[in-house]
Amino acid sequence: MMAATVLAIIVQRNLFSVVVLAGVYSFLMATVLVALDAVDVAMTEASVGAGISTVLLLGALYLCGGEEAKPLSRPWLPLVVTLVIVAALVYGTLGLPAFSDPQAPIHTHVVPRYLTQALAETGVPNVVTAVLASYRGYDTLGETVVVFTAGIGVIALLRRRRRGKEDGK
């Protein structure tokens, strides 16, 4: 179903339906994340990916118009490039640990400590929250700085546009 949605996004040229399909895609991704036990991430993906980004894209479409022009005349070069990269990556993934292997390095490094000590050290039963806000608090601070910078950037870009319009009158 996800593959069908992605194919439809590639083929579809009306940008409005592409945006709606992107929202559908985000919800499907959130479902997959729930199946992978990542409930916090699924929640964020459903609200941010399917909610906020759809609103942003619709706003941009309102300002830019919604039809895509014809596809480029020669789609073969990008297709070949993509297929070569796919082949290389599939070859690379064969060296990675198998799905759900408890001995994989990802499960043996810091994580056992988080899972056993987090409740005692931070008092938060949800380990994701404990790591996000406590162990990796500086990461989250940096993330906030990134979002703040992006907000400033958007305001600066769109305000200049409004002022330019007033000058034009």
Site for another protein in 47-106 (CB under 8 A): 48-49, 52-53, 56-57, 59-61, 63-65, 68-69, 71-72, 75, 78-79, 81-83, 85-86, 89-90, 93-94, 96-102, 104, 106
Tokens read off for 166: 């007033």
Q: Least distance to another protein from the beta carbon of 1, Å?
A: 12
Stated length of the chain: 169
The sign of the CA dihedral 36, 38, 39, 45 is negative
Question: How many residues line the site for another protein (CB under 8 A)?
Answer: 89
Q: Least distance to another protein from the beta carbon of 36, Å?
A: 5
Q: Least distance to another protein from the beta carbon of 7, Å?
A: 8
Of the two residues 61 and 166, which places its CB atom closer to another protein in the complex?
Answer: 61
The span from the CA of 87 to the CA of 167, in Å, is: 53
Tokens read off for 78: 């990008």
Q: Least distance to another protein from the beta carbon of 132, Å?
A: 5
The span from the CA of 115 to the CA of 37, in Å, is: 15
Tell me how far apart the 2 most distant CA atoms of the chain are, in Å.
68
Q: Least distance to another protein from the beta carbon of 169, Å?
A: 15
Rounded to 5°, the CA angle 92-95-98 comes to 120
Amino acid at 56: L
The mark string for 137-166 relative to another protein (x by CB under 8 A, - otherwise) is --xx--x--xx-xxx-xx--xx-xx--x--
- Tell which one of 24, 27, 29, 31 touches another protein (CB under 8 A): 29
